[in-house]
Amino acid sequence: MLKIENLHAEVEGKAILKGINLEVKAGEVHAIMGPNGAGKSTLSSIIAGKEEYEVTSGSIELEGEDIDELAPEERAHAGVFLSFQYPVEIPGVTVTNFIKTAINESRKAKGLEEMPAKDMLKKIREKSELLEIDRKFLSRSLNEGFSGGEKKRNEIFQMAMLEPKLAILDETDSGLDIDALRIVSNGVNKLKSKDNAVIVITHYQRLLDYIVPDYVHVLHDGKIVKTGDASLALKLEEKGYDWIKEEVNS
């Protein structure tokens, strides 16, 4: 699904990623953890194709194709979904209209016709029920006045509607109350299949009780310094990042 080799990247001349290797296969869930400023959001932005970052060496392949030259929307159409750590507000555009447009744009890029209104409504109904989203919420302006938890839930709704091949969730758990955490995690688990993959970026082991990862990676100073299974997250919770730093330095 996703293969990253020796990825180096910088922003405004400052090196941020310093040789990332990561392979994510279909059907897998990977968690990325690591201290503030390690480069987690940068890595996800680069996978999604955000232009402020400059890839100085290395490669990113999606399903065997180099995506380095693709624009963010082309990557989205190819099946990459990135949730935002800080979502944007779009006054006057409702949650529903935003997602309708996104779906139809993606269909258009693939040479398909717009999704019939009936199918769209059915899909919206199904996914909003799955994620326990109130109907009234769907007609609100995108992210305008949304609480932290509402923003996160909206992201997962977008993901559920778009059915991406590769979903990257950047701190989707921060600011969620216990119930919302459970709903969002259940949503992710239900959407998981043998054909798609998920990367979750989180600071909290707690999320990984709900979304059990196949692999946990620790990103530190632009490099993946440790990879393990779900138990690595528990160990981090217990020992903190100093433990990793000591290991890296020894």
Ligand X SMILES: Nc1ncnc2c1ncn2[C@@H]1O[C@H](COP(=O)(O)OP(=O)(O)OP(=O)(O)O)[C@@H](O)[C@H]1O
Residues that bind ligand X (CB under 6 A): 11-12, 16, 34, 36-42, 52
Q: What is the 3-state secondary structure (H, E, C) of 208-228?
A: HHHCCCCEEEEEECCEEEEEE
Could you tell me if residue 100 is left (phi over 0), alpha (psi between -120 and 50 degrees) or otherwise beta?
A: alpha
Q: Which is nearer to Mg ion, 16 or 131 (CB)?
A: 16
Q: Which does 153 bind (CB under 5 to 8 A by kind): ligand X, Mg ion, none?
A: none
Q: Which residue number, 141 or 174, has a Cβ lying nearer to ligand X?
A: 174
CB 165 within 8 A of CB 197: yes
Partner whose footprint covers residue 11, from ligand X, Mg ion, none (CB < 5 to 8 Å by kind): ligand X
Least distance (Å) from ligand X to the CB of residue 92? 28
Q: Name which of residues 71 to 100 contact Mg ion (CB under 5 A).
A: none
Please select the residue that binds Mg ion; options are 2, 28, 31, 41, rule is CB under 5 A: 41
Residue 170 CB, nearest approach to ligand X (Å)? 7
Residue 249 touches which of ligand X, Mg ion, none (Cβ within 5-8 Å per kind): none
Shortest approach of ligand X to residue 244 CB, angstroms? 14
Indicate the SS3 state at residue 20: strand
Minimum CB separation of residue 16 from ligand X in Å reads: 4
238 binds, among ligand X, Mg ion, none (CB under 5 to 8 A by kind): none
Residue 190 has a CB neighbour count (10 Å cut-off) of 12
CB 19 within 8 A of CB 58: yes
When the beta carbons of 11 and 115 are compared against ligand X, the nearer one is 11
Q: Which helix (H) or strand (E) holds 5?
A: strand 2-11
Closer to ligand X at the Cβ: 101 or 227?
A: 227
Alpha helices, H only, the chain:
40-48, 72-77, 95-109, 117-130, 135-138, 148-162, 178-191, 207-210, 230-239, 241-249
- Could you tell me the smallest distance in angstroms from the CB atom of residue 44 to ligand X? 8
Site for Mg ion in 96-135 (CB under 5 A): none
The closest residue (CB) to Mg ion is: 41
| Residue 49 or 127 with smaller CB distance to ligand X | 49
From CA 29, how far away is CA 196, in angstroms rounded? 9
CA angle 171, 177, 180 (to 5 degrees): 80
Listed residue (157, 153, 197) closest to 23, CA to CA: 197
Question: CB of residue 174 vs Mg ion: minimum separation in angstroms?
Answer: 10
Q: Where does this chain bind Mg ion (CB under 5 A)?
A: 40-41
